[in-house]
A and B are shown apart, each in its own frame.
Chain A
Amino acid sequence: MKSEIRNEKEILLKLDDVHVHYGGVHALDGASVAIDEGEIVALMGPNGAGKSTVLKAIFGIAPVHSGEVLWHEKRFKPVPHEVVARGIAFVPQGRRVFKYLTVEENLEIGGFIVGDKKELARRMAEVMETFPALKAKRRTKSGTLSGGQQQMLAIARGLMVDPKVLLLDEPSLGLAPKIVKEVFENIKEINERHGTAIVVVEHNIKSILGIVDRAYVLAKGKVAAQGKPEELLSSGVLEKIFLGEK
């Protein structure tokens, strides 16, 4: 099934049989996930399935017990600054913007590893172009932004490193449907404009149907199903996983 879906491009980022243990809890129990250059992949699954843990394992902020994370088919040390330096950016669940800092300061933090001031300014101008609402509020404390704006800031902050892969953990969480639509349009636009590969954790497959190339369905720390969204929808596997367990 895998080879049908993916074309001949080199695999950009891969988790191979990763196990993550939190004490006795096996958050990931042998999960394998692959992301190609420029594609948008959804990670789905019920609460506690291990979606966030997949992203955290890539970033080296989850206790990986065994298995490997590969970048361009090569192993690398999963510690955050190494991961960011390779062009992987993480937009965590719950946005986690720095509420007491301004929009601009949040973006500067996002571009921490960029170093060069001019380059930083250039990128800031660029992300503000993608998110005009942020530009107007650049000197506002981000805690006073609306939920949707905070989500855009969280994404913009991730974009500051010009990532090759953007990991988005539930960007639609707690947002009104209209705003969710906007956020997903932004995601699509980022992908098309810069060829950024995007991994997006999402509960509701219908809302991302139009934008994702492939989806993985996680259950209990394992990949239970994967494929094109339409295939997953018609196969009935989603109902089984989401409704089959409490």
Chain B
Amino acid sequence: MEYLIHLAVMSSIYAILGMSLNLVVGYAGLLSVTHAAFYGVGAYAVGILTVSRGYGFFEATAIGMVCAAAAAWFIGIVSGKFKGDYYALVSFGFNIIVFSIFLNVQSVTRGPLGIPGIPKPELFGTAIRTNAQFLILSIVFALLTYAISQWIVKSSFGRALKGIREDEDALRVFGYDTARYKRIIFMIAAMLAAVAGSLFASYISYIDPSTFSLNESIFILSLVILGGLANVNGSVFGAIVFILLPEILRFVGFPPDIAAQMRQVAYGAILVLLMLYRPQGMFGEYKL
């Protein structure tokens, strides 16, 4: 039971990551491979501020969101000068930079040692202690993200994002400031990723840079593609499948240690097979 709860918490954290990245990749069509950087900013904000500065979880989360938004604003301005493949390259360059900051600014982040002992959130004076309680918190945040995402994609703002994805130059002709739209959605997605990072840091109670590497960004991107670009439900589905995948491998008969190693291969294989046979993902309406 405890393990099921663990899987559910992780699924909801990754659902937040997937839904937020989908806003950028699926709706606006920006192939961003830097989402783990914002995830990390949120996690480190909570790690640093709660452990050694005495901040509460929610304050630290809010600060993390602001930091992520600021980083996204800057990254958005630079990468906004590029399109297509170049955009993807520039974005993953930023992931590497942020990762190096986590790793090398040791006076703040403790570098490879990581930050242990991150406390659980406190709500109305009582601490969230059990994993079941934490699950409720993470589901609440996932539902909020879901609602925000749905609201965005159904609004005229969301329609403009889809227009950018299809034909940005054509959209500009109608008076849209497309650069601004791209910057805003990138910042919103970064803030949501930071929330996922906060939850993760507090839940696992230990963070180190390795969780926020380029690999992680690719992992998140893969689950978005699996679920389907421009489909909010799809990202939730993709997150659950990817979190459960090791269990599924075990279920179909792989011994646990092999299943663990098979994981990476399976993620990779899923991505390749999707590109070959179903580039729009499970529920997506369009291809990468």
Contacts and interface: CB of A to CB of B under 8 A. Distances in A.
B276 interface: no
Interface stretch (B54-62, B162-170, B209-217): B162-170
Interface stretch (A100-108, A122-130, A228-236): A100-108
Contact of B174 (A100, A101, A105, A113): A113
A170 to B, nearest CB: 15
B22 to A, nearest CB: 15
B175 A112 contact: yes
Interface in B136-191: 156, 159-160, 162-163, 165-167, 169-177
B173 A61 contact: yes
B74 interface: no
Given A108-B156, A109-B160, A84 B174 contact: yes
Contacts of B175: 80-81, 84-85, 112-113
Given A100-B286, A101-B159, A110 B174 contact: yes
Interface string A68-99: 00000000000011001100001010001011
Given A85-B175, A108-B156, A112-B176, A100 B162 contact: yes
Nearest to A82: B175
A101 B172 contact: no
A216 interface: no
Contacts of B286: 100
B285 interface: yes
A98 B173 contact: no
The interface size bin for chain B is: 10 to 19
A187 B163 CA distance: 26
Contacts of A90: 173
B285 A100 contact: yes
Contacts of B171: 98, 109
Contacts of B160: 109, 112
A80 B173 contact: yes
Contact of A98 (B156, B166, B169, B177): B166
A112 B172 CA distance: 10
Contacts of A59: 173
A105 B177 CA distance: 18
A139 B15 CA distance: 31
Interface in B74-103: none
A157 B286 CA distance: 23
Contacts of B159: 101, 105, 108-109
29 contacts: A59-B173, A61-B169, A61-B173, A80-B174, A80-B175, A81-B176, A84-B174, A84-B175, A92-B170, A96-B167, A98-B171, A99-B166, A100-B166, A101-B159, A101-B162, A101-B163, A101-B166, A108-B156, A108-B159, A109-B159, A109-B171, A109-B174, A110-B174, A112-B160, A112-B175, A112-B176, A113-B174, A113-B175, A157-B174
